Structure 1
C-alpha cells in the first residue's frame, strides 16, 4: 500500500528541523510513545537503528526504526518494522517563503502473515494514523515557534 500526505507547518524550516530532529521531542507528538532506545549507530544517522515502544490498547507494540537517508534540511527517510508490518517512509521538507515548512511524507506499507488481512481490511487506518501523527507534530511545533 503506497500513499503520500502533506501538511504545512507554520514555522521556518530551520526551526522545524530542530524540533523534528530531536529524539527528546518524540514523546510530545507521538501519542502513546513509552520509550525510544538507540540500538546501534548514531541516532538519526544513516544505518542507525532504534527501538520505539508504544502503548497499544492494554499492551505494547515495539517498532524498530532504521535511518536510511539523512539530507537535512531537505529530507529524512527511514524504515519502521513491527510484527507483520514493514513501513518505508520518505520525508521531504520544503521551505515556504522562509516562514513555513511543507512536509511531504511518502509511505509504503508492506504486510506479512495475518497483517496482510488487516492491511486489506483496514488500510485507511494506516493513512489516518500517519496523518494524525503529522498533525500532532504540527501542533507541537507551532506551539514552540
Structure 2
C-alpha cells in the first residue's frame, strides 16, 4: 500500500527542519509516542536505529526505526530552493514501512512538507488490517502532520489535548 500526504507549515523551512529533528520536541506533536530511543548511532543521523513505542488507546506497538537518508546532513544553512530529504524504514511484527519526507520552500516563511508512505504486511492478521483499513494509515499520517503544524505554529502540545 502506498499513499502521499502533504501540508504547508507557516514557518521557514530551516525552522521546520530543526523542530522535526529535535527529539525533545517529538512528544509534543507525535500523538501516542511513549518512547523513542536510539539503539545505535545518533538521533536523526543516517544509519541510526531507534526503538520506538507508540500507544493507541490501551494498545502499545513497538517498532524499530532506521534512518536511511538525510539530505543535507546538516540542517543549518540549507541553500534556498533546495529540497530537504529525510527517509526512514520502520519495522514491527507483521509490518514494514518506508517514509520519505520532503521539505521545500513554499514562499516567504512557509514550508511544504510532502510525505510518501509505503507499507508491506506479513501474516494473516496484518494483511487483513492492511486490506480492510488502508484509509486509517493515511489518516494517521495526516493527523501527525496536522499535530506538528499546530505545535510548530501555535505551540499546541498533543499531550495536553489527550488529558
Into which bin does the TM-score normalised by the smaller protein fall? Answer: over 0.9
Q: 2: distance between equivalents of 1:143 and 1:122?
A: 32
Residues in 1 aligned to 2:119 and 2:59: alpha-carbon distance in whole angstroms: 22
Query: 1:92 corresponds to which residue?
Result: 102
Whose strand proportion is higher, 1 or 2?
Answer: 1
Find the residue that maps to 1:24 and give its secondary structure.
coil
TM-score, structure 1 as length reference: 0.95
Q: How many residue pairs get matched?
A: 144
Equivalent position SS for 2:44: coil
| CA distance, structure 2, for counterparts of residue 53 and residue 79 of structure 1 | 15
Q: Report whether the alignment pairs 1:80 with 2:101.
A: no
Question: SS of 2:45's equivalent?
Answer: coil
**1:17-96 paired onto structure 2 within 5 Å:** 17-72=17-72, 74-96=84-106
Q: CA deviation at 1:19?
A: 0.4
Q: Which segments of 5 or more consecutive residues in structure 1 lack a partner in the other structure?
A: none
Q: Does 1:14 align with 2:14?
A: yes
Give 1:36 shift: 1.2
SS of the aligned residue for 2:42 comes to coil
Q: Rg: which structure is higher?
A: 2
1:130 to 118, 141, 153: 141
Deviates more, 1:5-14 or 1:49-58: 49-58
Please tell me whether the aligned partners of residues 13 and 98 of structure 1 are also in contact (alpha carbons under 8 angstroms).
no
**Residue 56 of structure 1: CA displacement?**
2.6
- Tell me if 1:110 matches 2:127: no
Distance, in Å, in 1 between the alignment partners of 2:4 and 2:44 is: 22
Please state how far the C-alpha of 1:60 moved relative to its aligned partner.
1.5
Query: Segments of 4+ in structure 1 off by > 3 A?
Result: none
Q: Which residue of 2 aligns with 1:141?
A: 152
